[in-house]
A and B are shown apart, each in its own frame.
Chain A
Amino acid sequence: MKNIQSTMAGTVLQVLVKAGDQVEAGQAVMMLESMKMEIPVEAETSGTVNVIKVNAGDFVNEGDDLLTLE
């Protein structure tokens, strides 16, 4: 199990995957908005999306868990 964390403080703009999805390393799994910029969050390793812990519109701080991969 691997946590994907927010790289910076911001708002969740879009969740690009759903539980059960297969993702590849380097694939964007979420789009954050911060400093008026779109910030893609990429999976560091490939795996299956397990739990998505945030919704679009949520504020997240740097280091907060966004989703888990299995």
Chain B
Amino acid sequence: MTQTTNQSRFQEAVESIKKGGQQKYHDKSAEQGKMFARTRIERLTDEGSFKEDALFANYLAGDLPADGVITGTALVQGRPVCIMANDSTIKAGSWGARTVEKIIRIQETAEKLRVPMLYLVDSAGARITDQLDMFPNRRGAGRIFHNQVRLSGFIPQVCLLFGPSAAGGAYIPAFCDIVIMVDGNASMYLGSPRMAEKVIGEKVTLEEMGGARMHCSVSGCGDLLAANEEEAIDKAIDYLSYFPSNFTEAVPVKEAVEAVSGNAMSELIPANQNAPFNMYDAIDTLIDKGSFFEIKKLFAPELITGLARLNGKPVGIIANQPKVKGGVLFVDSADKGAKFIQLCDAFGIPLLFLADVPGFMIGTKVERAGIIRHGAKLISAMSSATVPKISVIVRKAYGAGLYAMAGPAFEPDCCIALPSAQIAVMGPEAAVNAVYSNKIQAIEDPKEKIAFVQQKHKEYQEEIDLYRLASELIIDDIVDPDDLRSTLIQRFDYYSTKHIPLPPKKHSVYPV
């Protein structure tokens, strides 16, 4: 009798907790195209693999099932991960004392187990009524971010943003390796539009100020814009397939796939150095078909960054896109490249640089924005990366552009030039103008002037001739574009045992 009562009390409790918040909030979520937090976890994880912690958190409060956050361990494609998921049907997913403690504990579990930590965020922020119990203390919300920083580079940390992440909560995505945002629903902001109007007098919509599309294309706080929640979850699963469970493990290798057939690399590159072409087509000729996982596609598109597989093995690609802004490096592209290189280097993913870059942008606008400081970030990240690095000079590599794209001085394991490559401080037109400007001006006869310029162009071209650079051991190899894929596969295989001991020091001073 007592046994039966105990059993039914337990079952009722579990059932009621697992229902989450009131039905009206579930209905509202569904209207917005949102899944229930538990459904998201089901879709993300292998069937029946989720083991939940602290289901009964704040049970005695009565109206705060699991205290608004679901935490636990599960399998994603057979590999263990730790998960936290806000339940927005309970007080808009806001954080109380036990919410915060649960998040901190699952982070600690992820650290001990050395497995990826996934944050499924959909939360209005702190419960102001509970602030003394969850905001300023040692194990308050600040500890979540402290743990994130501590775990950064140790295990992969992924954020799936399904709804708001407001105020302090906006730092969860900020400290993750990657932020996947659902278009139309996800948002990040420190102060809501209502607060902005009250405090600074600005009238603005949430979508304009902190929407998913804005963050994925303008601020760079988002990495991937998903059309809906299903796509966001599928992308997270796909992303993890390129990463080891922690930095000590080897990257996961998949079955090798041929590159797309069709365009040959040699046919893609225009002879005219100044004419644009589409670098995506070039990437397709090199990587396993269908393996490209692009990061920050909509942000600073003049630099392409993405994960791919070469003969089944993960590689991180950093490529200039001559089709956008001439492939010139800007403030945002430098930032984008720096973060991506750090991500790959942290988890042992080799780096492939595809250079076709006229240099860093010049002019008042970018100087005032600190292009030198931002460029230094990119060069610093690239320079300190110790994973295998191959630099391919596809076409031009001028000025500090050569440096940013892992030029010879930065110890790439190999600097390969295609026959179309041109390496110089600057392009021929600019160089001749810079050196002979006064002389050119002084020549009065127009015919003589043209002849002089042409002669100097010719001399300059000879000076920077690719075979001269190869003869001087500046580049390590010249490769037929159509053999580039096989060359890269072989070379990355040889470089896989690379080990560079670093000088003993705490860390470099990062030029932010």
A→B interface (CB under 8 Å): 7-9, 34-40, 61-62
Query: Quick check: is B125 within 8 A (CB to CB) of the other chain?
Result: no
Question: With a CB–CB cut-off of 8 A, which chain B residues contact A39?
Answer: 276, 325-326
Q: Are B276 and A35 in contact (CB under 8 A)?
A: no
Query: Quick check: is B322 within 8 A (CB to CB) of the other chain?
Result: yes
Q: How far is the CA of A39 from the CA of B322 in the complex (A)?
A: 8
Q: How far is the CA of A61 from the CA of B323 in the complex (A)?
A: 19
Question: With a CB–CB cut-off of 8 A, which chain B residues contact A8?
Answer: 325-326, 328, 330, 361
Closest 7 CB pairs of A and B: A37-B326, A35-B358, A9-B363, A8-B325, A36-B427, A35-B328, A39-B326
Question: With a CB–CB cut-off of 8 A, which chain A residues contact B430?
Answer: 36
Q: Nearest-CB distance from A66 to chain B (Å)?
A: 14
Q: How far is the CA of A29 from the CA of B27 in the complex (A)?
A: 46
Question: With a CB–CB cut-off of 8 A, which chain A residues contact B359?
Answer: 35
Q: Nearest-CB distance from B454 to chain A (Å)?
A: 17
Query: Quick check: is B350 within 8 A (CB to CB) of the other chain?
Result: no
Question: With a CB–CB cut-off of 8 A, which chain A residues contact B362?
Answer: 35
Q: Which residues B306-361 have CB closer than 8 A to chain A?
A: 322-328, 330, 358-359, 361
Query: Quick check: is B274 within 8 A (CB to CB) of the other chain?
Result: yes
Query: Quick check: is B435 within 8 A (CB to CB) of the other chain?
Result: no
Q: Are B358 and A61 in contact (CB under 8 A)?
A: no
Q: How far is the CA of A57 from the CA of B430 in the complex (A)?
A: 18
Question: With a CB–CB cut-off of 8 A, which chain A residues contact B429?
Answer: 36
Q: Is the interface of B mostly helix, strand, loop or mixed?
A: loop
Q: Are A37 and B361 in contact (CB under 8 A)?
A: no
Q: Are A38 and B275 in contact (CB under 8 A)?
A: yes
Q: Name the residue among A9, A37, A61 with the largest chain B CB count within 10 angstroms.
A: A37
Q: What residue of chain A has the Cβ atom nearest to residue B323's Cβ?
A: A40
Q: How far is the CA of A39 from the CA of B361 in the complex (A)?
A: 13
Q: How far is the CA of A40 from the CA of B275 in the complex (A)?
A: 10
Question: With a CB–CB cut-off of 8 A, which chain A residues contact B276?
Answer: 37-40
Q: How far is the CA of A38 from the CA of B323 in the complex (A)?
A: 9
Q: Name the residue among A8, A36, A62 with the largest chain B CB count within 10 angstroms.
A: A36
Q: How far is the CA of A9 from the CA of B360 in the complex (A)?
A: 13
Q: How far is the CA of A36 from the CA of B359 in the complex (A)?
A: 10
Q: How far is the CA of A36 from the CA of B325 in the complex (A)?
A: 11
Question: With a CB–CB cut-off of 8 A, which chain A residues contact B24?
Answer: none
Query: Quick check: is B365 within 8 A (CB to CB) of the other chain?
Result: yes
Q: Nearest-CB distance from A14 to chain B (Å)?
A: 13
Q: Name the residue among A8, A34, A35, A37 with the largest chain B CB count within 10 angstroms.
A: A35
Question: With a CB–CB cut-off of 8 A, which chain A residues contact B275?
Answer: 38
Question: With a CB–CB cut-off of 8 A, which chain A residues contact B327?
Answer: 37
